[in-house]
Structure 1
Amino acid sequence: MTRILVRTLLLFLSALAIINYLNACGKNGEAKIVEKEENVLIPVEVAKVVQDDISAYITATSTLQAEEEAEVVAKTSGIVQQIFVEEGDRVTKGQILAKLEDEMLAIEVERARAELLKLEHSFKRDQELFEKNLISSEQFQNTRFQYEAQKAAFEKAKLNLEYAKIRAPISGVVAVRYIKTGNMVKINQPVFKIVDFDPILANIFVPETEINKVQIGQKAQLRFDATNSIVYEGYVQRISPIVDPSSGTVKVILYVENRDQKLKPGMFARVKLLYDTHQKTLLIPREAVITEDDITMVYTVQDSQAIRKPVKLGYSTEKMVEILQGLSKEDLVVVVGQNSLKDSSKVEIVNSTSLNLGQ
């Protein structure tokens, strides 16, 4: 009986020793895993906080319009005899664009001239007779009225002959030709359209809540898909004095120089209207900023450790964002890999050469 009790006690003590040994091994393994995890460095790319200028813009879209354009109309009727210009040709004010048949008009001028000479002779004769009291005042006035009426008819005939030459009312480019040789045109019928491409206008519509940021002469930048996104400069020429009640916007007219003639009426433009600039302010790349639980923050790197910092943002562009609070110049912010970080994570900077960090 005593031997059985001793054996049972030895088995119990052995089992207890094994359990204690296994527990000790487990704790050591976990400690090693934790230690290993703490030694893992997360690769990141960083950028320096820089100090530079940043501007704020009102953005809008627009369709270009010519400042001057004119529908050229026929001032007399007739058949088109000659056309001297084609679409795309540049013309100057007063240049002859086309000519109507004018033989009958020239004959009418000569007939009116002959009739005028006849009545002029009659007028001078009756004037002499009237001064000698040889004819009545009524007869002299009748002759004078006929002479004056014929003078007007002669001037009208000459004007109609001149109107057979269709001239450009403005300088610009022929945008549309509506007629062909041999066509019959009537008075006031459109025959050409002329557009002046320089300068050119862009109309934008600014929300009434932002119109106080717009002033006459304010600079604007315009980009066009058709010109490979070349930036054209413009400025605010006019601001409408009223608000459109249906849209809550105010019409703003931009003046855009177009000396190279590459901009055309009807082109679609993306407009940025500069209204403020912060100089020598802190800037970081947009991709460095993350938002968690409505808190805007970035990760900075100090001594191979990621530090999470809340920041206050200001103006932004397509690539950069202004930092009003939370960072200092020359701080390093994480721009790649920040989504894998948590506060105090160990990191390895993989773009130190390009940043000249000396690490």
Structure 2
Amino acid sequence: MTSSLLAACGQGGPDTSKQADAAALVPVETAVVASRAIDASYSGTATLEADREADVVAKTNGVLLKLFVEEGDTVRQGQVVARLDDASPRLSLAKAEATLRKLEADYRRADEMFGKKLLSLEEHDKIKFDLDNQRAVHDLARLELSYTQVVAPIDGVIGKRHVKEGNLIQLNQPLFHIVDFDPLLGVLNVPERELNTLKSEQAVSMVVDALPGKRFPGVIERVSPVVDAASGTFRVTCRFDAQAQTLKPGMFGRIDVIYDRKQDAVAIPRSALIEEDGETAVYVVVQAAPPAPAADAKDAKAPKPEAAAPKPDAPKTAAEAPAASSLQAQRRVIHMGFADGEYVEVRDGLKLGDQVITVGRNAVRDGTLIQIIDTAPAPAAAGVPVAEKTP
């Protein structure tokens, strides 16, 4: 019975061993370390806001008789956007004009009498002061009448209308909200380590969630020289053109500030990086060392006659075919340089042509045997002839 078990084990041994070795290989995807241009940049997020916006408020009381603009309309500074009831201010102006004409006539007569020494200086000055005061009252009445024509204080677009025709409007009540779309600003809160890196007039670019696939150019408008002690950041204000009103205030954008470029950087994808124990590392594909041959003690003492050299004409069997080389993962600590959206520069730890693991790196450790999954067809195994296609 023991011999039967040994025979059974002898029959299944080689195939079982090969299947176990194949199962032990961890499938991974790799990328080749190559030379490419990499931009040194800072990326941050910001909500777009208008550089100029204002509320249109009523400067006098009255009933709103007419609206001349609506939400979404473009207006110019000084354009009439609404009209209030002007009956009372118009009557006040007419009354002030009548009083002004009377005082002007009184002053002319008083001036003639003063020249003939028929009027004292005190009475002459009193009439002149009354005339000056009435002129001010007249100008104020004219100003009050002009306030019934509500005008836009800035150029822009009507963002919101707060009132309706027929409403009784009170002094300083908001009627409209005007937004100037050009330019729009995005404010970044940047860590203090970048204080000497970001400067005014540097070019920036932005993508917004509402408009995927589009990138909008801009420029740094100003950089605050003060660092907020609570957050350790400083304010960087970026300016963007409205792009024919494609960009809107309130949109959420991701802003990239490119401040340097290296043309021939040794680069790898970000997906290859591993952050462990405060170090940045990658797994590199290397050739595994061949296992040491295990010699059987009995076979060493008494060599079998079958171990003699095979005849030159004898074909190689499957067991005698050279074994395929094994690959393994090797952990390497690297030092990074510039970094952009997809790639990072490696200043130390890798060389051009190395292969780094990008997919499956979390499943391997230093020395793990791996199998590279490649979409390209694998080359034919050594020692196996390739069938030629017939024409």
Choose 252-261 or 307-316, whichever is displaced more. 307-316
Distance 2:276 2:146 in 1: 78
Structure 1 residue runs of 4+, over 6 Å off? Answer: 22-43, 301-304
Q: In the superposition, relative to structure 1, how do residues 349 and 188 fare at CA in structure 2: closer, same or farther (>3 Å)? A: closer
8 A contact 1:73–1:188 mirrored in 2: yes
- For 1:323, give the aligned amino acid: V
Q: Please give the secondary structure, in 2, of the residue aligned with 1:159.
A: helix
Structure (1/2) with the larger helix percentage: 1
8 A contact 2:27–2:371 mirrored in 1: yes
Choose 162-171 or 273-282, whichever is displaced more. 273-282
CA offset at residue 285 of structure 1?
A: 2.2
Determine whether 1:299 maps to 2:322. Answer: no
CA offset at residue 23 of structure 1?
A: 9.2
CA offset at residue 240 of structure 1?
A: 2.4
Distance 2:240 2:213 in 1: 15
8 A contact 1:61–1:269 mirrored in 2: yes
CA offset at residue 236 of structure 1?
A: 2.1
Gaps of 5+ in 1: 1-17, 355-359
Write out per-residue CA displacement over residues 297-318 of structure 1, whole angstroms, 9 at most, x where no aligned residue. 3324679653636252423344
Q: In the superposition, relative to structure 1, how do residues 287 and 304 fare at CA in structure 2: closer, same or farther (>3 Å)? A: farther
Write out per-residue CA displacement over residues 261-288 of structure 1, whole angstroms, 9 at most, x where no aligned residue. 2333233333333344333202222333
Q: Which residue of 1 aligns with 2:70?
A: 86
Aligned length: 335
Write out per-residue CA displacement over residues 173-216 of structure 1, whole angstroms, 9 at most, x where no aligned residue. 11222222122222222222111111111222122333232221
Q: In the superposition, relative to structure 1, how do residues 160 and 346 fare at CA in structure 2: closer, same or farther (>3 Å)? A: closer
8 A contact 1:46–1:336 mirrored in 2: yes
CA offset at residue 333 of structure 1?
A: 3.8
Q: Please give the secondary structure, in 1, of the residue aligned with 2:242.
A: coil
Q: In the superposition, relative to structure 1, how do residues 124 and 214 fare at CA in structure 2: closer, same or farther (>3 Å)? A: same
Q: Please give the secondary structure, in 1, of the residue aligned with 2:210.
A: helix
Distance 1:244 1:98 in 2: 44
Q: In the superposition, relative to structure 1, how do residues 229 and 111 fare at CA in structure 2: closer, same or farther (>3 Å)? A: same
Write out per-residue CA displacement over residues 48-88 of structure 1, whole angstroms, 9 at most, x where no aligned residue. 32222222333333222211011111112111111111122
Q: Which residue of 2 aligns with 1:127?
A: 111
Q: In the superposition, relative to structure 1, how do residues 306 and 290 fare at CA in structure 2: closer, same or farther (>3 Å)? A: farther
Distance 1:104 1:278 in 2: 73
Alignment TM-score, normalising by the size of structure 1:
0.79
Choose 145-154 or 214-223, whichever is displaced more. 214-223
Distance 1:304 1:113 in 2: 107
Q: Which residue of 1 aligns with 2:332?
A: 310
Q: In the superposition, relative to structure 1, how do residues 348 and 140 fare at CA in structure 2: closer, same or farther (>3 Å)? A: closer
Q: In the superposition, relative to structure 1, how do residues 332 and 241 fare at CA in structure 2: closer, same or farther (>3 Å)? A: closer
Summarize the alignment of residues 11-22 of structure 1 with structure 2, pairs less than 5 Å apart: none
Q: Please give the secondary structure, in 2, of the residue aligned with 1:226.
A: coil
Q: Which residue of 1 aligns with 2:136?
A: 152
Q: In the superposition, relative to structure 1, how do residues 284 and 304 fare at CA in structure 2: closer, same or farther (>3 Å)? A: farther
Q: Please give the secondary structure, in 2, of the residue aligned with 1:213.
A: coil
Determine whether 1:258 maps to 2:234. Answer: no
Q: In the superposition, relative to structure 1, how do residues 157 and 346 fare at CA in structure 2: closer, same or farther (>3 Å)? A: closer
Summarize the alignment of residues 51-130 of structure 1 with structure 2, pairs less than 5 Å apart: 51-130=35-114
Alignment TM-score, normalising by the size of structure 2:
0.73
Choose 283-292 or 46-55, whichever is displaced more. 283-292
Determine whether 1:163 maps to 2:161. Answer: no
Determine whether 1:199 maps to 2:223. Answer: no
Q: Please give the secondary structure, in 2, of the residue aligned with 1:68.
A: strand
Distance 2:258 2:281 in 1: 26
8 A contact 1:43–1:349 mirrored in 2: yes
1:327 to 350, 359, 367: 350
Determine whether 1:237 maps to 2:259. Answer: no
8 A contact 2:70–2:158 mirrored in 1: yes
Q: Please give the secondary structure, in 1, of the residue aligned with 2:97.
A: helix
Report the aligned-residue RMSD.
Answer: 3.5
Distance 1:288 1:65 in 2: 38
Q: Please give the secondary structure, in 2, of the residue aligned with 1:154.
A: helix
- For 2:228, give the aligned amino acid: D
1:216 to 200, 203, 228: 200
Distance 2:27 2:260 in 1: 38
Write out per-residue CA displacement over residues 153-181 of structure 1, whole angstroms, 9 at most, x where no aligned residue. 22111111111100000001112222221
Q: Which residue of 2 aligns with 1:249?
A: 233
Distance 1:116 1:23 in 2: 131
Q: In the superposition, relative to structure 1, how do residues 263 and 31 fare at CA in structure 2: closer, same or farther (>3 Å)? A: same
Give the share of equivalent positions with the same residue, in percent: 37
Q: Which residue of 1 aligns with 2:374?
A: 350
Q: Which residue of 1 aligns with 2:310?
A: none
- For 1:199, give the aligned amino acid: P
8 A contact 2:192–2:233 mirrored in 1: yes
Q: Please give the secondary structure, in 1, of the residue aligned with 2:172.
A: coil
Distance 1:291 1:78 in 2: 68
8 A contact 2:284–2:354 mirrored in 1: no
Choose 63-72 or 273-282, whichever is displaced more. 273-282
